[in-house]
């Protein structure tokens, strides 16, 4: 059992990285055009924009003098030498890069649509400049779903991007709402995955998290995104769009751990006919987790949770991720290299699963 | 890997139970005095009581004609032959019984305090009548914390009860609020555990769960209770009350799975000084999970999640529970008997850990 303790992580250095027989492809890596930081500053200053989660998160990242937020600002905006040097120092061969959370999903519809296209052009250019190091996901504006579908098509077919990034809720609404279905339909038709990435819980649920400082990556992100994924399953989105594939970070936001209970209580709920929106599905909740969901290891350089996911979802469903620039310790790369897995499975984890899912 | 599929559970029968070399002690079992059902009916009819979670849950359990809710009403109110016959048929030697969720925590303060005493007398009588089959936890009214401390003392020292049951939030408030500290202090001083049991999320966070039917045992319960436990840790309750022991069902509401990320992001949060309420602690989040928390297997007759908890918390921290009458399949007992564990560890899981924690 490889019990890495986070308190010791920063002690490792790049020269401790081993030569390995696989490419390390990190699949949940973030960037932010400088112009998006300006838009976010505008939202912070706009008294009519009152999302408490956004305000606390970007109040911190944009304004805090802490080393962590300074570095995140600098690293997020780079798509060139700085990022490449960090990848080299941490042994990362390739990043799959996406617009950072919450992306365009806090912008008004028209601005969101146009900014998504701008960010996609920028990301695509960087990927074309460094085709062996960078791949990218397309930003889209879910709240303008028909245009999101078109932008996803452009991103995949014109710009060479490899999937869509969605940062959980959009103004408190979830992708199971029929207004968003054109986007799900497009992803299925294009045979390209949607990366369902965390964002801060909406005003509808944040208060008990926020008042203890637990709304972010420590817990609120995971709950919000796990809820979103579970909603997609239980409202029948994967019966409606059976080929749709969703990638979820942080080892599936703990839904693989909950899998047995999800199956049991979903069955009980369906039989009891308690909820209008909990209807019979073609499969069990766990069937959709195994057939329509990939999970990445972002935030988890930790054998117990990684192995549970591999055991219950299948080794072909678990992909490596780093979560740059929010978490990028070389010690975590070393810990993941050192997992007690066969050579074949380790290559799937770091390389070949990502190549298949994102068609790299 | 013992991948029990819930869809097949009901096929097992009692004659398939093996003779085992341990007592099966089930530690998260519920009862409800008939008078509490009357009080809950009154709340449902009271237009000034507007807790959406309570209304949906008890609108269902008290009024639904479904077989599930009928049985739950009948089984909850029995503390005699019916319960004993079900225990016999499922191989349960002993139940640790507590007032069902949300207990007195939806009642006005005075009523809550007096009803807790009433329920404790009733439960204590049943335990005295069947001392080898029943043990009980004391109900208390957290919102009347000084009286709750007194009632817990009476429950332990006069009535022979074995701990306290708390059903997560009380009118949307959590035990880290100083108003509740007299109760935590009493539990520590009495050297008796608090069982932190789920209840439906409060109005402050329920909406995105409720509108998809995910507020209950399938997901909302776990998130609400996991949040509560995490709040107790990160707000420093176990630094203030270092001997306090909390028992949490449903395998720790997934916090053991999150453990690595909790440590990492807690450290990052403390260093960044982002939140007033996230101060340095004496230990890591995982230290408190390992030293102040016991988890039970309620809802999880499932090897992958049970083994993860045993691996990361220690085998002495994981206790068997059934969750009667909400979940009581003999097939789940058989699956738990059949876990790939040493005889010693299995006896700890089913018997001796519970004997130690609850001083049975």
Partner A, chain B 247-276, Cβ-Cβ below 8 Å: 250-251, 254, 257-269, 271-276
Residue B354, pLDDT above cutoff 90: yes
Comparing CB atoms, the residue among A201, A227, A273 nearest residue B219 is A227
> How many residues appear in chain A?
360
* Minimal C-alpha gap between B185 and chain A (Å): 21
With 50 as the cut, is the pLDDT of residue A302 above it? yes
Beta bridge partner(s), residue B230: none
Do the beta carbons of residue A304 and residue A298 sit within 8 Å? no
**Cβ <8 Å between A169 and B208:** yes
Which of A302-311, B265-274, B280-289, B332-341 shows the lowest per-residue confidence on average (mean pLDDT)? B265-274
Optimal mutation site among A57, A258, A289, interface B, most CBs of chain B within 10 A:
A258
Residue A16 falls inside a structural domain: no
Asked, for residue B16, whether it belongs to a domain, the answer is no
Contacts 24+ apart (CB under 8 A), A44-52: A49/A106, A50/A203, A51/A106, A51/A200, A51/A202, A51/A203, A52/A203, A52/A206, A52/A207, A52/A210
pLDDT band at residue B10, thresholds of 50, 70 and 90?
A: low
At B164-187, the pLDDT tens digits run 999 999 999 999 999 999 999 999
The pLDDT confidence band at residue B272, using thresholds 50, 70 and 90, is confident
Percentage helix, strand, coil, to 5, in chain A? 55, 10, 35
B234 with A250: Cβ contact below 8 A: no
Find the helix packing angle between A81-90 and A67-76, rounded to 10°.
Answer: 110
Residue A212 lies in a domain: yes
Mean pLDDT of A154-169: 98
Supply the pLDDT for residue B293: 98
Q: Taking CB atoms and an 8 Å limit, are B202 and A222 in contact across chains? A: no
Nearest residue in A to B309, CA atom: A304
The C-alpha of A125 sits at a distance from chain B's nearest C-alpha, in angstroms, of 33
B235-262 tens-digit pLDDT: 999 999 999 999 999 999 999 999 999 9
The interface predicted TM-score of the complex, written ipTM, equals: 0.96
CA distances from B323 to B25, B221, B302, B332 (A): 12, 14, 14, 11
Query: Is A169:A224 a contact under the CB 8 Å cutoff?
Result: yes
Nearest by Cα to A354 from A25, A132, A22, A23: A25
Percent of chain A topping pLDDT 70: 97
Q: Which residues are B98's β-sheet partners?
A: B30
CA distance B188 to chain A (A): 23
Using a CB-CB cut-off of 8 Å, the residues of chain B touching A312 are: 3, 304
Confidence of residue A64 (pLDDT cuts 50, 70, 90): confident
**Residue A8 domain flag:** no
Q: What is the pLDDT of residue A40?
A: 97
pTM for this structure? 0.96
Judged by CB atoms closer than 8 Å, whether chains meet at A217 and B261 is answered as yes
A299 at B interface, C-beta within 8 A: yes
Q: How confident is the model at residue A108 (pLDDT cuts 50, 70, 90)?
A: very high
For A317-334, write each residue's pLDDT tens digit. Answer: 999 999 999 999 999 999
pLDDT band at B202 (very low <50, low <70, confident <90, very high): very high
- The stretch A269-295 carries a mean pLDDT of 95
Question: What pLDDT band is residue B273 in, cutting at 50, 70 and 90?
Answer: confident
CB A306 within 8 Å of CB A4: no
**Which residue is closest to A272 within chain B, CA to CA?**
B66
Give the pLDDT score at A124: 98
Over 90: is that where the pLDDT of B8 sits? Answer: no
For testing contact with chain A, the best of B255, B265, B287 (most A CBs within 10 A): B265
Give just the sign of the alpha carbon dihedral A43, A45, A47, A51.
Answer: positive
Determine the pLDDT at residue A10. Answer: 54
Average pLDDT, chain B: 95
Among candidates B214, B262, B269 on the partner chain, residue whose Cβ is nearest the Cβ of A213: B269
**Percent of chain A beyond pLDDT 90?**
90
Least CB-CB distance to B214: which of A231, A268, A276? A231
> Does the beta-carbon distance from B68 to A276 stay under 8 Å?
no
Describe the strand order of the beta sheet including A134-136 as a list of residue ranges. Answer: A25-31, A94-99, A134-136
Tell whether A1 is within 8 A of chain B (Cβ): yes
Instruction: State pLDDT tens for residues B58-72.
Output: 998 898 888 888 889
Return the percentage of chain B with pLDDT > 70, whole number. Answer: 97
The whole-number pLDDT of residue A15 equals 86
Residue of A nearest to B210 (CA): A275
Residue B274 has pLDDT above 90, yes or no: no
Mutate to test the interface with A, among B261, B275, B307, B313 (most CBs of A within 10 A): B261
Q: Quote the minimal CA–CA distance from A147 to chain B in Å.
A: 26
CB-CB neighbors (< 8 A) of B206 in chain A: 205
For the stretch A181-208, pLDDT in tens is: 999 999 999 999 999 999 999 999 999 9
Q: Six-digit token pair at B111?
A: 């009523």
Q: Which of A226, A275, A309 to mutate to test the interface with B (most CBs of B within 10 A)?
A: A275
A-contacting residues in B 312-351 (Cβ below 8 Å): 312, 327
Q: Is A7 inside any structural domain?
A: no
Pair B59, B49: CB distance under 8 Å? no
Tell me, yes or no, whether A291 lies in a domain: yes
Residue B329 tokens read as 């399949």
What is the structure's pLDDT at B4? Answer: 37
For residue A64, tell me if it sits in a domain. Answer: yes
- Residue B74 domain-assigned (yes or no): yes
Domain count, chain B: 1
Confidence of residue B7 (pLDDT cuts 50, 70, 90): very low
Q: Which of B218, B226, B234, B231 is nearest to B255 (CA)?
A: B226
**Burial zone of A191 (CB within 10 Å; 0-12 exposed, 13-18 middle, 19+ buried):** exposed
> Chain B 77-106, CB below 8 Å of chain A: which residues?
none
CATH code of B119's domain: 3.20.20.140
Nearest chain A residue (CA) to B10: A264
Query: Per residue in A4-33, pLDDT tens?
Result: 333 344 557 778 899 999 999 999 999 999
* Residue A2: predicted pLDDT: 35
Residue B68: which of A260, A268, A276 has the nearest Cβ? A268
**Residue A34, exposed/middle/buried by CB under 10 A (0-12, 13-18, 19+)?**
exposed
Domain with B286, as residue range(s), is 22-358
């Amino acid at each position: 059992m490889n019990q890495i303790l986070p308190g010791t992580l920063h002690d490792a250095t790049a020269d401790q990285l081993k030569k390995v027989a696989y490419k390390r492809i990190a699949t949940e890596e973030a960037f932010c055009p400088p112009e998006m930081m300006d838009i976010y500053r505008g939202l912070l200053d706009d008294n009519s924009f009152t999302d408490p989660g956004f305000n606390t998160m970007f109040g911190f990242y944009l304004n805090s003098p802490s080393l962590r937020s300074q570095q995140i600002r600098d690293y997020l905006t780079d798509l060139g030498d700085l990022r490449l040097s960090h990848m080299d120092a941490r042994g990362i061969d390739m990043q799959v890069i996406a617009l950072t959370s919450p992306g365009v999903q806090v912008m008004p519809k028209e601005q969101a649509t146009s900014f998504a296209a701008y960010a996609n052009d920028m990301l695509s250019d960087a990927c074309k400049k460094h085709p062996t190091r960078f791949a990218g996901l397309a930003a889209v504006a879910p709240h303008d779903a028909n245009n999101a579908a078109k932008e996803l098509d452009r991103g995949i077919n014109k710009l060479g991007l490899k999937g869509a990034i969605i940062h959980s809720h959009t103004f408190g609404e979830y992708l199971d709402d029929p207004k968003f279905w054109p986007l799900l339909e497009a992803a299925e038709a294009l045979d390209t995955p949607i990366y369902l990435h965390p964002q801060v819980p909406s005003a509808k649920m944040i208060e008990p998290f926020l008042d203890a400082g637990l709304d972010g990556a420590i817990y609120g992100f995971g709950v919000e995104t796990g809820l979103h994924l579970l909603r997609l399953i239980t409202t029948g989105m994967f019966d409606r769009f059976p080929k749709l594939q969703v990638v979820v970070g942080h080892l599936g936001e703990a839904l693989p751990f909950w899998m047995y209970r999800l199956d049991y209580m979903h069955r009980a709920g369906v039989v009891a006919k308690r909820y209008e929106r909990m209807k019979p599905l073609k499969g069990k909740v766990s069937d959709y987790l195994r057939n329509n969901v990939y999970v990445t290891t972002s935030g988890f350089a930790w054998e117990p949770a990684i192995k549970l996911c591999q055991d219950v979802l299948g080794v072909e469903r678990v992909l490596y991720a780093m979560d740059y620039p929010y978490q990028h310790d070389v010690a975590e790369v070393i810990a993941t290299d050192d997992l007690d897995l066969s050579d074949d499975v380790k290559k799937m984890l770091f390389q070949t699963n990502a190549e298949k899912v994102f068609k790299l």
